Chains A and B, each alone.
Chain A
């Protein structure tokens, strides 16, 4: 089994503005700092007019249940890879998120598409944790954490797009 996560966030900014944001490494650095990530390392960051790829490794603060902390350890170290492509009036991506010491992870797809005068950023993620008997509980925790983090990121994105950061 695995745990599905689907979400869509609306933005006043259009797709071009969203693309300009996500392909700017300063945005990621500022966002990670704003949401409390530490020890950020970049395995790669490559952006062009029609494609964008990055892999980051960072420690993510999270209020995790004790049974998860026992496995994850004192620091919640997360490796994220996103591969974006810009085609037509939309942008789409695959994502892969791994937590250190946890077998499995989150994979999925993202899309930024026009919506009215702005755009919408949609997420379709699947979390699978391969642990005997307790994998399902882990998947629930990781999915909740993903949702909480995306809510923080959305708030930051709006401030960035408004030029407040």
Chain B
């Protein structure tokens, strides 16, 4: 199966001592720096990242298995993941890969919606997770909105050839 760049990023970043430093800083700014809150966020964000990596694995297998109509959706997700100097730099540890995971989920969710609108069956199902709202807060509303718009434009291009 094709390498999953999100798993590679996760492996590299979570091994760092300062992996959560930027996230903790954001929680402090958001007034959510009590121990319960921090532990909950770390758990939910970890689940969010793992679920997103699993979605990319599922899609990669589907593409290899014949869903070539989704190959460019996978390429688009990998393309954003491959750029370390994106909207939130990967240098910021877990916070720096949250924008990557957020974009991937937007791409997959919007592509799945577009497929269903065309009576096609999407190869992945993007479920809502407890961390969705927290991730938006950590990224900041303007960043999240920018990423959503960018993903929507990308998907609009990619699904043009779908019937």
Contacts and interface: CB of A to CB of B under 8 A. Distances in A.
Interface of A: 67, 70-71, 101-104, 128, 130-135, 138
Contact of B82 (A71, A130, A133, A135): A71
Given A130-B154, A130-B157, A131-B76, 14 more contacts: A67-B82, A67-B83, A67-B85, A70-B82, A70-B84, A71-B75, A103-B158, A128-B157, A131-B154, A132-B76, A132-B106, A132-B150, A133-B86, A134-B83
Contacts of A103: 72-73, 75-76, 79, 154, 158
25 contacts: A67-B84, A70-B82, A71-B75, A71-B78, A101-B75, A101-B79, A102-B75, A103-B72, A103-B79, A103-B158, A130-B72, A130-B76, A130-B157, A131-B80, A132-B79, A132-B80, A132-B106, A132-B147, A132-B150, A133-B80, A133-B86, A133-B87, A133-B147, A134-B80, A138-B79
Interface of B: 72-73, 75-76, 78-80, 82-87, 103, 106-107, 146-147, 150-151, 153-154, 157-158
A123 B74 CA distance: 31
Q: Which 9 residue pairs of A and B lie closest in terms of their CB atoms, listed nearest first?
A: A70-B82, A103-B72, A132-B150, A131-B79, A130-B157, A103-B75, A71-B82, A71-B79, A103-B76
A3 to B, nearest CB: 14
Given A101-B78, A104-B72, A133 B150 contact: yes
